[in-house]
């Protein structure tokens, strides 16, 4: 089986919904032992239950990735069989400019989107140095192009790219590869909730409008993002490290 993850232990943050859920399910189908770290206990449990339906191996861990001690304890408990893959997917969004973004907003996004990634890297890398492996961090097109009203979000995703390059450089001789991916809009429950909350009564119209901001004319499906993550974490991608991969329906290069 190509892209097999048999005998690999994979940690996926934010695996209770959306992109993280798609990654967790795909990794389990590829025979990885999947560990989902998520603040949403029910979402994580539901993902595990779905994986168990096809006899996949998965465990849910209630976790706030911004909590350094909690992340360290959970990852330590997973490490008995080695840690081979880390996917830093958990993140939160924010709408606002430099003027309208409050200090509290900045601190909240830094805590999850930046410190949360750091916490997982800090805890997992010592174990991964023993086994080698792959890390994929979730960045965004917001780290590469200017988007309106995305000041804090863009800042944090730029930091994710910087952390990716640093880890790739520091641990290349330990057999650890580190890459990040930069999606454009992906059709997740978060997007549906955002549209419903922000544009009540205009859901269909706004969904169509947001879909067409990608030159390809639609949003991505979470599974399409998951397949790229699978490739980057697989043996077949063994020559790839220190890269940021746009997966954006042409947004960065084709929008004029």
Q: Which two tokens stand for residue 56?
A: 């996949």
State how far the Cα of 134 lies from the Cα of 231, in Å rounded to an integer. Answer: 10
Q: pLDDT digit string (tens) for 40-98?
A: 999 999 999 999 999 999 999 999 999 999 999 999 999 998 999 999 999 999 999 99
Question: What is the per-residue pLDDT for 190?
Answer: 86
Domain-located, residue 255: no
Question: What is the per-residue pLDDT for 255?
Answer: 85
CATH number at 135 reads: 3.40.50.720
Domain-located, residue 190: yes
Domain-located, residue 155: yes
Of 118, 127, 153, 171, which one is the catalytic site residue? 153
Do 54 and 109 lie in one domain? The reply is: yes
Do 198 and 154 lie in one domain? The reply is: no
Residues of the chain with pLDDT under 50: none
Do 113 and 206 lie in one domain? The reply is: no
Nearest to 52 by CA among 89, 74, 24: 24
Instruction: Provide the domain limits for residue 171.
Output: 9-184+222-246
Question: What is the per-residue pLDDT for 172?
Answer: 98
Do 107 and 229 lie in one domain? The reply is: yes
Q: Which two tokens stand for residue 238?
A: 């063994």
Do 156 and 190 lie in one domain? The reply is: no
Classify residue 160 as exposed, middle or buried by CB count within 10 Å of its CB (0-12, 13-18, 19+): buried
**Number of structural domains the chain divides into:** 2
Nearest to 92 by CA among 172, 150, 178: 150
Catalytic residue check, 153:
yes
pTM of the shown model: 0.96
| C-alpha dihedral, 20 to 23 to 26 to 29, nearest 10° | -80
Domain-located, residue 251: no
């Amino acid at each position: 089986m190509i892209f097999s993850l048999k005998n690999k232990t994979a940690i996926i943050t934010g695996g209770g919904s959306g992109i993280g859920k798609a990654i967790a399910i795909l990794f389990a189908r590829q025979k990885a032992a999947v560990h989902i770290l998520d603040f949403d206990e029910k979402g994580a449990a539901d993902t595990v239950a779905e994986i168990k339906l096809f006899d996949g191996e998965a465990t849910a861990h209630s976790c706030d990735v911004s909590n350094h001690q909690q992340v360290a304890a959970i990852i330590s408990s997973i490490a008995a069989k080695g840690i081979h893959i880390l996917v830093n997917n958990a993140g939160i969004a924010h709408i606002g400019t430099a003027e309208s973004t409050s200090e509290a907003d900045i601190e909240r996004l830094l805590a999850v989107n930046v410190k949360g990634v750091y916490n997982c890297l800090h805890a997992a890398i010592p174990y991964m140095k023993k086994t080698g492996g792959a890390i994929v961090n979730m960045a965004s097109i917001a780290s590469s192009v200017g988007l309106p009203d995305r000041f804090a979000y863009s800042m944090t995703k730029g930091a994710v790219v910087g952390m990716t390059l640093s880890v790739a450089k520091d641990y290349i001789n330990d057999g650890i590869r580190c890459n990040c991916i930069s999606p454009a809009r992906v059709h997740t429950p978060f997007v549906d909730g955002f549209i419903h909350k922000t544009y009540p009564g205009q859901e269909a119209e706004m969904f169509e409008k947001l879909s067409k901001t990608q030159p390809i004319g639609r949003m991505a499906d979470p599974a399409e993002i998951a397949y790229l993550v699978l490739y980057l974490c697989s043996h077949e991608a063994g020559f790839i490290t220190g890269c940021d991969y746009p997966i954006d329906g042409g947004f960065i290069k084709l929008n004029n």
